[in-house]
Every structure is written in structure tokens, then in C-alpha cells.
Amino acid sequence: MKYVDEYRGSEYVSNLTEKLQTLSSRKVRIMEVCGTHTMSIFKHGIRRMLPEQVQLISGPGCPVCVTPSGVIDAFVELAGRPEVVITTFGDMIRVPGTGASLMEARAAGADVNIVYSPMDALELAEQKPDKLVVFLSVGFETTTPTISATILEAARRKIENFCIFPANKTMPPPLKALIQDPELQVDGLLCPGHVSIINGSESYRFLVEDHNIACVVAGFEPTDILLSIIALVKQVQENRPAVENCYSRVVTPEGNVKARKIVETVFEPVDSEWRGLGTIEASGLTLREEYGRFDVTRRLEIQIVPSSEPKGCLCGNILKGISQPPDCPIFGNRCTPGSPVGPCMVSSEGTCAAWHRYGDLS
């Protein structure tokens, strides 16, 4: 398959792993921020190709995983209301809060629909004028632009029975919080490819200049990832941290300015709680006053009860890269993809789910 085979072939991959082997002379700790990177690394078996000195740590880049369980409880409670139709991306549906998941709510009679785009939710609102169609707005910079465009479209078409439940988050604030964590000691970041399409590679400049962290924007195929790890190892070993873009076929320095403008029109930053990480200043998004009528939390009485993490679960440390899934006492026994306990197991992109699914063969 074109544009895939060229980036996966074993002949290209083995060249890169050989280069990495000869290059690596000291221990380098790299955090892959994005959940899709985590999955790709596991899916293609990249972890086992790396030299011992290169250590990969999975970061907080799975939007489902970092949504607090109190918010998920509120989704489920909302789904149970007879006047509400819930629309959501697929991988949110199995995530348990402190009680049930949306899938269980659907089994109990709630109207819960998987959509591929928030625009589909808007179409559903038009088809069901006597219901309030709510889109569960979870995601990072990659999904927020389409959600913003949907809000603008709803306003233009005056579709008043459409709302979102805003739970969007942005990437730079948690990165800043994480690298300041003295326990973490990360040398470099494998920066998220999709997020960078919107934010631009220059958005990581502050990490280099203020925090001396190597930053390389990476694509998602095996050669993309290996090439980016090589770039990171070089930067760290030569002690010259910089922003490098190894995903230049889609990422530009300035990013997608138009998409960011649409987001800024509709949303504004707000302090936000991250599951496992706590509240991070200005790391979430809420609708601007002008579009407040599309915010279900302002339209209906909705309570978000703060909740603590389940007993025994190490997800807080795993999301910060301090612990690895096998360190957790409940990993693989009480907590599995079939009945997840902690946030990192709930989404297919979660670190624990990746370890469980693709395994550690060592």
C-alpha cells in the first residue's frame, strides 16, 4: 500500500536500528507524548529493536485516558435522561467512570450513538428536533478544530437542540508541568505528529529554550519513529537540544493557522483536571460566552463530582512516566482491557492497554 509500505519495510527499518545501535553511547530517556505513538511503537514491535541505552516512556497523550472519572460519570448520568441523545467517538463508549460506562447506559435504555465526526452529531440533531443531541467533546488539538467548525455550523444553521459537553484539552500545558517534575528526568520528547499539524513544530520552542529538552516531531510509521529517536539521541548526546521536525511531509513550523483561528473563535482556555495528573492551569477549553448556549453544562443542571483514583492503581505514575504498567499490582489481573480499572487501560491508546495487548516478550 502506497505511503505505508515505504515507511514500514524491514529493509529500511533495519538500516535505522543499526544506525541507532552504533550511535547510542549513553542512557537517553525519551517520552513519547502521544497515545497513537505508544500504540504504533507496540504494534510494530519497535521497543524490542532499540538499544538498551534508549528508554521510552509513555506520556499522557491519550484523550480518553486523561478524562477524569467524575466527567465520565456525568456523561453517563446525562445519557440516562430521556430527553438527551448522546453522540460520541467510539473509544469513549467502554470507559467506566466510578460506576457504569456509556455502553452499560445504552444497554439500560439510553440513546448513545457512535459518530465518526461531530458533524454527524449535528445531522442527528436535525433529524431529532424534539431531543437534545449532545456530543461528548473529548480530544486534543487534533479533534478540537472539527468540533469548533461544527459549533459554528450549528450557529449558522440555527440548530438549537445541539450541544457539546466540553472536555477538550490542549497539549503544551501538561508537557510543561511534566518536564518540571523532578521525578521524571526526561531528556527528550517524541512530539505528537497529529497535534503538531495544528500547533506547528515551533510550539515546542519553549521546551528547548526554557527547559533544555530535546524535541523532535515524529510521524507514526516505524521509520518515522526510528528516525525521530535517532535525531533525539543525537541531540541529547551532543548536548544541543533543538526543535527538529521529522514529520515534515505534513507538519509545518507554524502549523494550521486557520484551524487554530476557528478554535480560538469558539473556545477559550480554562483550568482543567487531568486524570492521574491533577488540575493543570489553562490546559482545557470551554466555549466562549457567545457560544455558551451550545454548552450542555450551562444548559442543564449537571454535577461533576471530583473522584479519586481506584485503589491500588498506578495510573497517576504511569501517565507521568514514573512507573511502567508491569509495576502496577493490579495490571493484568484485576485490571484488563475487558474490565479496566485505571484510565490507562480503558482506551485502546492507553499505555497499559498497549502493554497488555501487544505485550512484553522479554
Partner 1 sequence: MEKYILLDHGSGGLASQNLIGSLFLKYLKDPVLQQLEDAAVLPAEQGQLAFSTDSYVVDPIFFPGGNIGELAVNGTINDLAMRGARPICLSLGLILEEGFAVAELEQIIKSIAAACDYAGVPVVTGDTKVVPKGKADKIFINTSGVGIIEGGIDVTARKAQSGDVILLSGTLADHGITILTSREGLQVGGNLQSDTRPLHFLARSLVKDFPGEIHTMRDPTRGGLGTTLSEIAKTTGLCMEIEEKAIPMQPEVRAACELMGLDPLYLANEGKCMVLAAPEHAEKILQTMCSTPEGRDSAIIGRVSAKHSGRVVLTTVSGGTRLVEPLSGEPLPRIC
The residues binding partner 1 (CB under 8 A) are 1, 4-5, 8-10, 13-14, 36, 42-49, 63-64, 89-94, 114, 116, 138-140, 142-143, 194, 222-223, 336-338, 347-349, 356-359, 361
**Residue closer to partner 1 (CB basis): 138 or 259:** 138
CA distance 213 to 228: 14
**Residue closer to partner 1 (CB basis): 88 or 235:** 88
Angle at alpha carbon of residue 358, lines to 353 and 360, rounded to 5°: 100
DSSP run (H or E) holding 102:
helix 102-107
- CB 198 within 8 Å of CB 297: no
**Residue closer to partner 1 (CB basis): 236 or 341:** 341
CA distance 260 to 81: 34
Strand pairing report for 278-287 and 267-274:
antiparallel
**Could you tell me the smallest distance in angstroms from the CB atom of residue 357 to partner 1?**
5
Q: Could you tell me where the beta strands, DSSP code E, fall in the chain?
A: 28-34, 54-61, 84-88, 111-114, 132-139, 162-168, 188-191, 214-217, 243-245, 267-274, 278-287
**Could you tell me the smallest distance in angstroms from the CB atom of residue 127 to partner 1?**
14
**Could you tell me the smallest distance in angstroms from the CB atom of residue 219 to partner 1?**
14
Helix (H, G, I), strand (E, B) or coil at 85: strand
- CB 165 within 8 Å of CB 214: no
**Could you tell me the smallest distance in angstroms from the CB atom of residue 244 to partner 1?**
22
**Could you tell me the smallest distance in angstroms from the CB atom of residue 14 to partner 1?**
6
**Residue closer to partner 1 (CB basis): 194 or 234:** 194
Angle at alpha carbon of residue 355, lines to 354 and 361, rounded to 5°: 130
**Residue closer to partner 1 (CB basis): 48 or 157:** 48
**Residue closer to partner 1 (CB basis): 140 or 247:** 140
**Could you tell me the smallest distance in angstroms from the CB atom of residue 176 to partner 1?**
21
**Could you tell me the smallest distance in angstroms from the CB atom of residue 91 to partner 1?**
5
Residue 308 C-alpha cell reads as: 479519586
Orientation of helix 222-237 relative to helix 35-43, angle to 10°: 110
Tell me, what DSSP letter sits at residue 339? S
Q: Would you say the C-alpha torsion 19, 25, 26, 27 has a positive or negative sign?
A: positive
Residue at 202: amino acid letter: E
- CB 58 within 8 Å of CB 86: no
**Could you tell me the smallest distance in angstroms from the CB atom of residue 140 to partner 1?**
7
Residue 242 C-alpha cell reads as: 533543538
Using the CB atoms, write b or e for 284-300: b if 16+ within 10 Å.
bbbbeeebebbbbbeee
- CB 188 within 8 Å of CB 30: yes
**Residue closer to partner 1 (CB basis): 73 or 349:** 349
**Residue closer to partner 1 (CB basis): 236 or 328:** 328
**Residue closer to partner 1 (CB basis): 241 or 343:** 343
**Could you tell me the smallest distance in angstroms from the CB atom of residue 211 to partner 1?**
26
C-alpha distances in Å from residue 314, one per residue of 55, 189, 236, 326: 20, 22, 29, 10
**Could you tell me the smallest distance in angstroms from the CB atom of residue 216 to partner 1?**
19
Residue 261 C-alpha cell reads as: 483561528
**Residue closer to partner 1 (CB basis): 142 or 201:** 142
